[in-house]
Amino acid sequence: MYDKLREECGIFGIFAAGDGSGVDVARETYMALYALQHRGQESCGIAVNDGGLIMSHKDVGLVPEVFNEMVLNHLKEGQMAIGHVRYSTTGSASRENAQPMVMKYVKGSVALAHNGNLINAYALREELENSGAVFYTTNDSEVICHIIARERLRTPSVEAAILSAMKRLHGAYSLVIMSPRKLIAVRDPKGFRPLCMGRLGGCTVFSSETCALDALGAEYVRDIKPGEVVVVTRDGIQSYRAEGSDEESTLCVFEYVYFARPDSVIEGCSVHRARLEAGALLARQYPVEADIVCGVPDSGLDAALGYSRESGIPYGTALIKNRYVGRTFIQPSQNQRERSVKIKLNALSSAVSGKRVVLVDDSIVRGTTSARLIDILREAGAREVHMRISSPPFLFPCYFGTDIDSREKLIAYKMSVEDIRRCIGADSLGFLSVENLARINGPGEKNYCMGCFTGKYPINVPESVPKDRFEKKLPL
C-alpha cells in the first residue's frame, strides 16, 4: 500500500534456567514479538520446547490476532521458546510459510526462526529435491532446516552441524534454533542482520532488536558477532565462530535509517541518534529557506528533528497518522488506491497553510507515496514543499532480506533526481549522500552494507533473484 521498503522479519528466543518453573516462556515470547511487530506484519508464530517435545502455533496476521489466552495456555509448559514475525521476501504470504519452522528427523525435532535471505537458496533447494527431499513451503528457511538436518547425520552435535552448514549458506541469516536440549543463536559471517543477547532473571534471551529486551525488562548483554554460534544449555553458554567470519559486521545500514525501532540500540549505536545525525547531515548538504520542518510518520520524524536543529528552521507536525490502518489495507479499485495514502496520513492545515515546508522522509522507492503526500500538503495550503530524504537514491536490488528484487521497481533507476523532483511535484529534492550515510553513527565511515545504493555488495551476488522463484517452479 505504501511506498516503503519492507524488511523480512524479527526473531526472538528464550531459555529458562533450571527446569523452567516460574517462567512462562510462551508469554515472554508473545510480549517480545509485540515489540518486534514493526519488522513484519504478515504472519507470526511461537514454538515451545518441553524436554524435546516441540509445540507450535503460527498463522497469518498480527501478533494479537494470531494469539489469545487459549493458545498461550496451550503453549505454557516449556523450558525454551522461539518466536517470529514475518514479512515475506522469499515465499508467498501464507500460513505454510509462517515461522518458526518445525521439523522432525532421525535425531529428533528442531525448530528454526530466520531473519534474512539466502542468495543461493534456489540452487540448494534444487540439489536437495534431486536427492529426494520434500518441501512443504516456498521460503528459504526450510532450505536451512534441511541443510542442518543433513549435516547433523555426520557431525557429533547440532552446533557442529550448524557450523558445517554455514559453509554452504550464502547470504543474510540471523537465526534462533531449538534442538531437544539447546537454544542456539546464529549470525551469518558478514553480520547483515542484527541479533543481540540479553538476560532476564535466570533466563537467556536473543532478539533482533534491543527494544524487545526493554519490553520484557531484560538486561542487554551484547550483540552476537558475525559468524558466531551461541549455544545455551542447562550447563551454561558456549560460543563458536564459523570459518571466514568478519571481525566487524557489514550490517545493513537501512536498519538505522528505517527498519529498526528508534528506541533500539544496534551494535552499540542508538537508532534514534543515528536518525538525528542523518537529518543534521542532510541539512548541511541541502539547506533551504523555509518556515517549518516536518517528518513523514514515523521513521521520518527523527531525521526531521535533526534537520530542524541543524538548520534552525522550527520543527512542527504537519502530517497526522491514522494508527488504525494496517499494512494489509484492502484497495479494491484504482481510484481507491490513489486515495489510500490520505486514509493513512492527512495534513494539518493550520500548521502548513501559507508556509514553506521541508518534508523529511527516510526513502523514496517507487515515488507514488511522496507525490501524494506533497499533493496533500499543497491542498492544505502549503506555499512550497521541499523534499529531503535521509538516505541516497535506491539504484540496485537488495539480495539480503528486503522486498526490492528488481531495479525496474525503483524510480531512481529510471529517473534523474531532477526528473524525480518533477514527478513527485516538489519545489526541491535532496537525497543524503552515500558518504554522509556512512557517517550517521559518528566520525569516520563505518563498514555497512550499502549495496542497494552503490551496487557494491559485501559478497558476490547473482544477476537476479526474483522474489517468487520457488513458486514459479510449482506445477499449475
> Cβ distance 231 to 281 under 8 Å?
no
pLDDT at 444: 67
Q: What percent of the chain has pLDDT over 90?
A: 74
pLDDT at 335: 55
Could you report the per-residue pLDDT of 167-225, keeping only the tens digit for each?
A: 999 999 999 999 999 999 999 999 999 999 999 999 999 999 999 999 999 999 999 99
pLDDT at 464: 60
| C-alpha cell read off for 388 | 529531503
Measured distance CA(193)–CA(191) in Å, rounded: 6
Q: Which ranges of 118-179 does DSSP label H, i.e. alpha helix? A: 121-130, 140-152, 158-165
Measured distance CA(21)–CA(201) in Å, rounded: 13
Measured distance CA(405)–CA(89) in Å, rounded: 9
- Domains in the chain, CATH or no CATH each: 9-250 (3.60.20.10), 273-454 (3.40.50.2020)
Neighbouring residues of 327: CB distance < 8 A, sequence distance ≥ 6: 1, 2, 41
9 annotated active-site: yes
Residue 329's CB is within 10 A of a number of other CB atoms, namely: 13
> Cβ distance 83 to 75 under 8 Å?
no
pLDDT at 271: 97
The structure's pTM equals 0.92
Q: Which residues of the chain have pLDDT under 50?
A: 1-2, 327-334, 467-476
pLDDT at 186: 98
Q: Give the H or E element holding residue 335.
A: helix 334-344
Could you report the per-residue pLDDT of 389-436, keeping only the tens digit for each?
A: 999 999 998 888 776 767 887 999 999 999 999 999 999 999 999 999
pLDDT at 92: 54
Q: Which neighbouring-strand residues pair with 186?
A: 175, 229
Q: What is the DSSP secondary-structure string of 190-253?
A: T--S--EEEEETTEEEEESSHHHHHHHTPEEEEEPPTTEEEEEETTEEEEEE-TT--SS---BT
pLDDT at 68: 95
> Cβ distance 188 to 226 under 8 Å?
yes
- Please choose, from the candidates 186, 132, 134, the residue with its C-alpha nearest in 3D space to the C-alpha of residue 158: 186
Rounded to 5 degrees, what are φ and ψ at 256? -75, -35
pLDDT at 334: 45
Rounded to a whole number, what is the largest CA-CA distance in the chain? Answer: 72
> Cβ distance 122 to 470 under 8 Å?
yes
pLDDT at 95: 83
Q: Give the H or E element holding residue 81.
A: strand 80-86
Enter the DSSP assignment of 36. Answer: T
The SS3 of residue 366 is: coil
Q: Give the H or E element holding residue 414.
A: helix 411-414
> Cβ distance 366 to 3 under 8 Å?
yes
Residue with cell 529510471: 414
- Please choose, from the candidates 432, 102, 166, 458, the residue with its C-alpha nearest in 3D space to the C-alpha of residue 275: 432
| 456 exposure class (CB count in 10 Å sphere: 0-12, 13-18, 19+) | exposed
| C-alpha cell read off for 29 | 515470547
- Please choose, from the candidates 43, 67, 33, 75, the residue with its C-alpha nearest in 3D space to the C-alpha of residue 176: 33
Measured distance CA(182)–CA(326) in Å, rounded: 36
Rounded to 5 degrees, what are φ and ψ at 442? 115, 175
Measured distance CA(347)–CA(382) in Å, rounded: 10
Q: Give, in degrees to the nearest 5, the angle at Cα 269 between 264 and 272.
A: 55
